[in-house]
Amino acid sequence: MPRPCKPKTIRGRPNSNYFKPAGIPLKDLQETILTLEEFETIRLKDFLGLDQTSCAEKMNTSQPTFHRALTNARQKIADAIVNGKAIKITKDKE
């Protein structure tokens, strides 16, 4: 039986829950789901420019866990940009 997940500290909230390519209706697009945890990793590391150790401490998580979430977030964002998908930011994985 796996260990239960520890709650992560998330201080930043997105101003918008959706990002999509211009000129294409949302109903015609595939979605990439970005969790709030993944959003927070991008905010701390890429937007605020903090080092990975500081980011992990701010999120109350280990550095390897932070790195995995950051890698997942970057992969999802890259997939959405390259393949023209909408990005939906949500609390939990769907």
Sign of the Cα torsion 47, 50, 53, 55 reads negative
Please give the C-alpha separations between residue 43 and each of 25, 34, 39, 91, in angstroms, as whole numbers.
27, 12, 6, 15
Please give the C-alpha separations between residue 65 and each of 36, 59, 71, 72, in angstroms, as whole numbers.
15, 10, 10, 11
| Residue 51: per-residue pLDDT | 96
- pLDDT, tens digit (0-9, with 9 covering 90-100), for 41-94: 999 999 999 999 999 999 999 999 999 999 999 999 999 999 999 999 998 665
Give the C-alpha separation, 24 to 13, whole Å: 26
Q: What's the pTM value of the predicted model, to 2 decimals?
A: 0.84
